[in-house]
Amino acid sequence: MSTSPAAIGIDLSANNVLRNLSAPALIEEAIRRDEGDLASNGAFVVATGKYTGRVPDRKRLEDTPEIHDNIWWGKVNQPITSETFEALERIAQDYLETRDEIFAFEGFVGADLKRRLGVTTITEHAWQSLFVRTLFIRPTPEELASFSSDWLILNCGSHSLTTDEQRRAGYDHPVCVAQSLSKKVAVIFGTEYGGEMKKSMFYAMNYDMPDVGVCPMHCSSNVDNDDDSNVTLFFGLSGTGKTTLSADPNTHLIGDDEHGWSDDGVFNFEGGCYAKAINLSEEGEPQIWDAIKFGSVLENVVIDEETHVPDYTDSSLTENTRATYPVEHIPGAQIPSVGKHPKNVVFLTADAFGVLPPIAKLTREQAMYYFINGYTSKLAGTEAGVTDPVPNFSPCFGGPFLARPPHVYADMLAERIDKHGADVWLLNTGWSGGPYGVGARFKLAYTRAMVNAIREGLLSNASFEQDPVFGLHVPTSVPNVPSEVLMPRTAWHDKNAYDTKAGELAAKFCENDQKYDMPDAVRAAGPQG
Cα–Cα distance for residue pair 344/361, rounded to 1 Å = 11
- Angstrom CA distances, 509 to 48, 375, 388, 394, 416, stand at 36, 8, 21, 12, 25
Residue 322 annotated in active site = yes
Three-class DSSP labels, 70-130:
CCCECCCECEECHHHHHHHHHHHHHHHHHCCCEEEEEEEECCCCCCCEEEEEEECCHHHHH
Residue of 112, 257, 423, 467 marked catalytic: 257
Residue 252 annotated in active site = no
Cα–Cα distance for residue pair 191/178, rounded to 1 Å = 12
Residue of 54, 133, 252, 523 marked catalytic: 54
Is 256 in contact with 273 (CB distance < 8 Å)?
A: yes
Ramachandran quadrant class, 18 (left: phi over 0; alpha: psi -120 to 50; beta: rest): beta
CB proximity list for 85: less than 8 A, separation 6 or greater: 60, 62, 178, 180, 183, 187
Q: Which amino acid is at 266?
A: V
Residue 238 annotated in active site = yes
Residue of 58, 125, 133, 218 marked catalytic: 218
Cα–Cα distance for residue pair 166/189, rounded to 1 Å = 11
Is 459 in contact with 480 (CB distance < 8 Å)?
A: no
The C-alpha angle 194, 197, 199, rounded to 5 degrees, equals 105
Does an H or E element contain 58, and which? none
Cα–Cα distance for residue pair 169/173, rounded to 1 Å = 10
Residue 276 annotated in active site = no
Residue of 129, 191, 238, 394 marked catalytic: 238
Residue 257 annotated in active site = yes
Residue 184 annotated in active site = no
Residue 329 annotated in active site = no
Residue of 48, 52, 182, 243 marked catalytic: 243
Residue of 138, 159, 183, 242 marked catalytic: 242
Does an H or E element contain 375, and which? strand 375-378
406-420 vs 364-373: helix axis angle to the nearest 10?
A: 150
The C-alpha angle 439, 444, 445, rounded to 5 degrees, equals 120
Is 256 in contact with 322 (CB distance < 8 Å)?
A: no
- Single out the residue of 130, 126, 178 nearest to residue 153, CA to CA: 178
Residue 324 annotated in active site = no
Q: Which residues are catalytic?
A: 54, 199, 218, 238, 242-243, 257, 322
